[in-house]
Amino acid sequence: MKVHNFNAGPSVLPKEVVKKSAQSVINFNDTGLSLLEISHRSIDFLEIIEKATCLVKRIMNLNDDYAILFLQGGATLQFSMVPYNLMNQKAAYLDTGFWAHNAINEAKKFGQVKILFSGKNKNYTYISKNYHIPCNVDYFHCTSNNTIVGTQMKIFPKTSIPIVCDMSSDIFSRKLDFCQFSLIYASAQKNVSSAGMTIVIVKKDILGKLKKNIPSYMDYKIHIQNNSILNTPNVFSIYTSMLTLEWIENQGGLTILEKKNQYKAKLLYDEIDKNHLFENKIHKENRSNMNVSFFLKKKNLEEKFNKMWKKENIVGLDGHRYLGGYRASIYNALPLESVQFLIEIMREFEKKFS
């Protein structure tokens, strides 16, 4: 049975990654042990984390000025870890969505937060480019892709201030100059791995400048010194991320994946725009290539549409509980055929009820 998985996270992974991960749970590398049983300090695991680290740097074209960490606590923990390590007095933030707003609320516990732009009064349907980053802030924080509403930053500001970016829902989906960022973090359960692990990519020279007594688990420098195994890491999720990173390279890297993602997104947005029953509320220049939100123009048709797509083995199409409507998350591993199939369902629905 073919299932079309549009879940926002945990979400679709490449089939070969799922197959290899599943096999590793039974017998990892012919060791006679399950991956779930091996020591996180064994040579087997150290090889996994080393390979995953090298793959991240190679795919993102980063040098050894950057450290790669595989941590726990999700992006939510990073909302606190970032200001704990980087905020002396003041930081600048963009309020572009629900998670960006949560990051701001956590940062306020550590110092002054200057909000350069907020889209909250417009239901986060657009991202302004008209903001100025002050020269007296410790860092600038942005969220590259907003999973709930479906907006995405297409360009990033030029500044001498360290840029921190939450890339949880679009990391490894497009080619960027990643050297423009001083710190990137991303929860893994969108484009990288299973839930329970967060990738942090940090430029080492921005750390250790504050006179703070930072708790060990919250201190990036200590995690770097301990190669991400200050405590027992999520072995399974790190292994799965390594497999996904191998898959990304085998696909041709970020340039190829970006073209595929743009094509999938264009197909779906074009259908929404011309279909008489559906609408997308996001400004066109800010539409996400990862999370496509849309609504029925006639709310009384929702029950019929829900019945139709669920009958066709489509899963995860419900919009976020805060927003309603529908959301198709079309991450790297989602096949083109799943997007085409959803479009067919939307067209069939239009014929019946337009």
The two three-digit tokens of residue 67, written as one number: 């450290």
Residue 48 sits in which domain range? 15-251
Within a domain: 109: yes
Say if residue 1's pLDDT is above 80: no
Which pLDDT belongs to residue 264? 98
> What is the tens place of the pLDDT at every residue in 10-60?
999 999 999 999 999 999 999 999 999 999 999 999 999 999 999 999 999
Question: Which of 95, 138, 166, 219 is labelled catalytic?
Answer: 166
Looking at the structure, tell me whether residues 40 and 154 fall in a common domain. yes
Looking at the structure, tell me whether residues 228 and 257 fall in a common domain. no
The two three-digit tokens of residue 272, written as one number: 């929404």
Which pLDDT belongs to residue 233? 97
pTM equals 0.97
Give the length of the chain.
354
> Residue 297 catalytic?
no
Within a domain: 6: no
Rounded CA separation 29/335 (Å): 29
Question: Which of 95, 99, 138, 264 is labelled catalytic?
Answer: 99
Within a domain: 275: yes
Looking at the structure, tell me whether residues 50 and 80 fall in a common domain. yes
Looking at the structure, tell me whether residues 185 and 289 fall in a common domain. no
Within a domain: 4: no
Instruction: Determine whether 296 is exposed, middle or buried from the number of CB atoms within 10 Å of its CB (0-12, 13-18, 19+).
Output: buried
Say if residue 354's pLDDT is above 90: no
Q: Which of 17, 326, 66 is nearest to 194 (CA)?
A: 17
> What is the tens place of the pLDDT at every residue in 225-259?
999 999 999 999 999 999 999 999 999 999 999 99
Within a domain: 282: yes
Looking at the structure, tell me whether residues 108 and 188 fall in a common domain. yes
Give the pLDDT band of residue 322 (cuts 50, 70, 90): confident
Average pLDDT, integer, range 135-158 = 97
Contact 97, 146 (CB under 8 A): yes
> Residue 190 catalytic?
yes
DSSP 198: E
| 158, HSE (Cβ side, Cα atoms, 13 Å) | 0
Q: Which of 4, 2, 47 is nearest to 317 (CA)?
A: 4
Within a domain: 9: no
Looking at the structure, tell me whether residues 241 and 300 fall in a common domain. no
Within a domain: 309: yes
Give the pLDDT band of residue 119 (cuts 50, 70, 90): very high
Phi and psi at 63, nearest 5°, equal -100, -170
| Listed residues 197, 229, 251: the one ending a domain | 251
Looking at the structure, tell me whether residues 188 and 169 fall in a common domain. yes
| Listed residues 224, 251, 278: the one ending a domain | 251
DSSP3 helix / strand / coil % (the chain, rounded to 5): 40, 15, 40
Looking at the structure, tell me whether residues 187 and 311 fall in a common domain. no
Question: Which of 138, 190, 260, 309 is labelled catalytic?
Answer: 190
Looking at the structure, tell me whether residues 235 and 307 fall in a common domain. no
Q: Compute the chain's Rg from CA coordinates.
A: 21
Average pLDDT, integer, range 263-276 = 98
- 161-to-64, 133, 145 alpha-carbon distances in Å: 21, 8, 21
Looking at the structure, tell me whether residues 246 and 289 fall in a common domain. no
CATH number at 277 reads 3.90.1150.10
> What is the tens place of the pLDDT at every residue in 148-205?
999 999 999 999 999 999 999 999 999 999 999 999 999 999 999 999 999 999 999 9
The two three-digit tokens of residue 87, written as one number: 């905020």
| Listed residues 192, 227, 251: the one ending a domain | 251
Strand order in the sheet with 66-71: 66-71, 198-203, 183-187, 163-166, 140-143, 90-95, 112-118
Which pLDDT belongs to residue 40? 96
Matching residue, tokens 């959803």: 342
Within a domain: 8: no
Looking at the structure, tell me whether residues 98 and 230 fall in a common domain. yes
Q: Is 199 helix (H, G, I), strand (E, B) or coil?
A: strand
Which pLDDT belongs to residue 262? 98
> Residue 309 catalytic?
no
Cis omega before residue 157 (within 30°)?
A: no
Strands 66-71 and 198-203: antiparallel
Rounded CA separation 205/70 (Å): 19
Matching residue, tokens 């710190």: 183
Distant-in-sequence contacts of 39-46, Cβ < 8 A, 24+ apart: 40/229, 40/232, 40/233, 40/235, 41/229, 45/235, 45/238, 46/227
Looking at the structure, tell me whether residues 61 and 97 fall in a common domain. yes
Q: How many domains does the chain have?
A: 2
CATH number at 88 reads 3.40.640.10
